[in-house]
Amino acid sequence: MDPQAFFWRTMAGELPPPRAFQTLGGRIVHADAEAGTVEATFQATEALANPMGHVQGGFLAAMLDDTLGPALAATLARDQFAPTLQLSVTFLRPAKTGLLHGTGRVLRRGREVCHLAGELRQDGEVVASALATALVRQTAPHTP
């Protein structure tokens, strides 16, 4: 864990969370760099609902990306960032507006290519799951 990395400076309140994460009502509840895991919550508002009143699938995918990404980000050094190369989402049941719980984990962290997995739950039930591939890069853009 690099306490000067973007992720950990954000967790310490030194930097604001990314705007997209804020838009999704995101909050990191727990992060473990050694285990490569993150737990997050998202407060899905009516603004994220489709015409049926369920959370639109694209927002659920973004929530999963904002859970898996931080699981990897917690392991990165201050001069690294890791854009998502591929994200595959499986929708299992409709999600209502309200609180969703995300869990993300690093399945395999290579020097550059990393494999990630995670789930979104609501009321104890998995509503969507995802697998992702990310690429570790040097010198993160826009890092203060």
Q: How far is CA 9 from the centre of its chain?
A: 16
Q: Answer for the pair 114, 108: CB distance below 8 angstroms, yes or no.
A: yes
pLDDT score, position 11: 94
pLDDT at residue 28 in the model: 97
End-to-end CA separation in angstroms for the chain: 18
- pLDDT value at residue 1: 81
CA 127/CA 117 separation, integer angstroms: 14
The whole-number pLDDT of residue 140 equals 46
Residue spans of beta strands (DSSP E) within 19-112: 26-32, 37-44, 80-81, 84-91, 98-109
- At residue 114, the pLDDT reads 98
Q: Which CATH architecture has domain 6-138?
A: Roll (3.10)
Cα angle value 131/126/97 (rounded, 5°): 105
* Rg of the chain in Å (alpha carbons): 15
* Confidence (pLDDT) at 139: 74
- Token readout for 78 is 């201050």
pLDDT, block means (10 residues), the chain with 144 residues: 91 94 97 96 97 96 97 94 96 98 97 97 98 89 54
